[in-house]
Chains A and B, each alone.
Chain A
Amino acid sequence: MKQKAMKSQSLARANRQRRLSLLVFMGPFMIAFFVFTILPVIVSLVISLTNFNMLEFPQFVGLDNYAKLFLNDGVFATAVQNTFILALITGPIGYFLCFAFAWLINEIPPKPRAFLTLLFYAPALSGGFGAVWSLLFSNDSYGYFNAWLQEFGIITEPIRWTVDTDYMFAVCVIIILWQSLGTTFLTFIAGLQTVNKSLYEAGAVDGIRNRWQELYFITLPEMRGQLMFGAVMSISGTFGIDGVITAVFGMPTQEYKLHTIMHHLHDYANVRYEMGYACAIATILFIISVIANKLIQFVLNRIGK
């Protein structure tokens, strides 16, 4: 009897301790997360139902903003189309390149590896390099690409890379791909480092014949966490692309050729101060991203099974 009571008492204490440690471990993060991330998201969802213009007190307008977005805003339709095309091209290619480069770099010895990693990570190190592209792809003969092409006699007139609608898209894809090798790439590198090395030797015994099988049955499943992370990063990166386009092509871009959802959002939030409308755009973008994420999760969960 006494023993039982003691046992339940110590169990209760262990439980209390467990709860206390949970609180200490998760408390600081969760408080900051809810106050500075969840709360603003909820507030902006609410704002999307109003006509808030940052000066007057917001009025509730129901789903008017959404109705206007879909029925009355031709530019938004263009933006959605552009965003989808850009995301569908640069997203998968960028993701694949990140992994391919990380995987290959991981095969070489530590010292050249660190050097090459630095080269590949360089675009992400400084925010300022995006602007360098606008010098390289400058519309006049002082732009490097124009100057070189002219010197080799390929062209006589400088190509107006950033306003000629024939070239804008290709230039944009190159720059986005260049920029996309940052966060995801370095995460993959770290992920490859933590793959349990003994699994490879065990795999060789268990009949893994080539590097593709090794990749599919050992490396990828061991890196599932990083693959998911990379997917979320590339979704938020590709669907939310705007900064680098603005830096090179300006805003708005010629004939709205590279106008993305994020540009549209910026336009209404920071230029026209129609916050209600801007928040509605953000909500739509959010829904699109969530669906894309679900699809990718579905695919990634199948790997190595």
Chain B
Amino acid sequence: MLSKVKDYSSLPEKKKQKLIKKGKIDADGNVIYHKKRRMFKSKRVNRSFAGDLFLILFLLIGGVFMAFPMIYAISNSFKPLHEIWLFPPNLIVRNPTMDNYKDLVTILSNSTVPFTKYLFNTIFITIVGTVFNVISASMCAYPLSKSKFKGKHFLNQIIILSLMFAAPAKAVANYLIMAGLGWIDTWLCLLIPALGSSFALYLIRGFVDTFPDIVLEAARIDGAGEFRIFFQVLMPNMKPAWMTLVVFSVRDFWNQGASIYIYREELKTLAYALSQIAAEGIARAGVSMAIQIIMLIVPVGTFLVTQSNIIETMATSGMKD
């Protein structure tokens, strides 16, 4: 838009003042910075076309390195068994086949506990666990960041410190606590601790901290109660934060395999059942790759849905204050 106007000195005074105010021209009518040919629209300083191109190339190379094991797993899941053990090995499959996936279906349909039971268990745990995780952490992060009360600083410190204590050392105590509560062999062992995840809280709190107080104050003056402020002001603006937490939470619960707290076969999860299949040795190499790919569908799906949502929020909500 700006580049179309060549001569700024001939502009009407009012428009000129406006441009000066925006910082686009100085008092003599000289343009402060030009809008160069760029790949992406952005109103910021110092961007160039070459820079953008270099950036994308650099990222693509990095991205391929990062995704390399995933590409490998996808490729292997379509290989017939003899091709997996071919020498020299080839990365990309030559004769793609669905055999590995078909074998997986056959194995699953022959299991003692029906496959759908495992699937249901995993879906239930994932949904409930994620909801617990996100709601509880977000609700607690709000006062821990914005309210004033005695011991707030202390609580915040404890939460950060707790993240650094090695999990295996806590396992014995955790088991004793679960046993004391009588929760062994129930899902409560997996779901209730999700209410008190210091990881989730610390993640969310980082975002609440930078949320402007003025907005909360304005809502309070308008007569909104704390709950309304939380659900209608804070949470919609914190969408990138809790959507990110949803991604992590779904990933962790979905991949929840064997648990030391759960013995009953009909309470076990899909990840557990599939890992048992993959554990049956070399002949299952192809099937185990197929398992990994199938297990990816839900975390990747969640990721894509949340990412597009995050971008949408940012586009519609605009500025925060």
Contact = CB atoms under 8 A, between A and B. Distances in A.
Contacts of B5: none
B236 interface: no
A173 interface: no
A219 to B, nearest CB: 11
Interface string A202-216: 001100111100100
Given A37-B198, A132-B69, A209-B46, 7 more contacts: A32-B196, A35-B196, A132-B73, A135-B72, A187-B244, A229-B202, A286-B164
A200 B230 CA distance: 28
Given A129-B73, A290-B164, A190 B139 contact: no
Interface string A169-213: 000000000100101001101110110111011001100111100
A258 B278 CA distance: 27
Interface string B48-81: 0000100110111011111101101100000000
Contacts of A116: 59-60, 63
A187 B202 CA distance: 11
A205 B166 CA distance: 48
A225 B296 contact: no
A147 interface: yes
Contacts of B65: 178
Interface in A212-249: 214, 222-226, 228-229, 232-233, 235-236, 239-240
B90 to A, nearest CB: 9
A71 interface: no
29 contacts: A25-B139, A25-B140, A28-B136, A32-B194, A32-B195, A33-B197, A36-B192, A37-B196, A39-B177, A40-B177, A107-B52, A122-B69, A125-B303, A126-B255, A128-B295, A132-B73, A144-B89, A178-B66, A187-B206, A190-B243, A191-B206, A193-B314, A197-B319, A204-B43, A225-B206, A225-B208, A229-B202, A278-B169, A286-B164
Nearest to B292: A128
Majority secondary structure, B binding face: helix
B177 A133 contact: no
B166 A282 contact: yes
Contacts of B241: 190, 194
A55 to B, nearest CB: 12
Interface residues of B, number: 104
B44 A40 contact: no
A298 interface: no
Interface stretch (B110-118, B120-128, B142-150, B262-270): B142-150
A135 B303 CA distance: 27
Interface in B138-166: 139-140, 142-144, 147, 149, 155, 158-166
A43 B73 CA distance: 42
B168 A147 contact: no
Interface in A26-66: 26, 28-41, 43-44, 47, 52, 54
Contact of A122 (B22, B67, B207): B67
B46 A210 contact: yes
Interface in A106-161: 107-110, 112-114, 116-129, 132-133, 135-136, 141-142, 144, 147-148, 150-151
Nearest to A210: B46
B58 to A, nearest CB: 7
A285 interface: yes
B240 interface: yes
Contacts, number: 293
B304 A118 contact: yes
Most chain A CB inside 10 Å of its own CB: which residue of B166, B174, B225: B166
Given A125-B296, A282-B166, A196 B319 contact: yes
Most chain A CB inside 10 Å of its own CB: which residue of B140, B165, B230, B243: B165
A81 interface: no
A89 B111 CA distance: 46
B16 interface: no
Majority secondary structure, A binding face: helix
Given A26-B140, A33-B198, A142-B89, A190 B240 contact: yes
Nearest to A118: B303
A111 to B, nearest CB: 9
Interface string B231-256: 00000001011011001100100010
Contacts of A54: 172
B187 to A, nearest CB: 14
A27 to B, nearest CB: 8
B140 A36 contact: no
B143 A26 contact: yes
B303 A44 contact: no
B174 A36 contact: yes
A236 B161 CA distance: 10
B136 A29 contact: yes
A202 B91 CA distance: 50
B226 interface: yes
Interface stretch (A5-13, A72-80, A265-273): A265-273
The 6 closest A-B pairs by CB, nearest first: A225-B206, A32-B196, A282-B169, A33-B196, A119-B63, A29-B140
A166 B300 CA distance: 37
B230 to A, nearest CB: 7
Interface in A11-25: 18, 21-22, 24-25
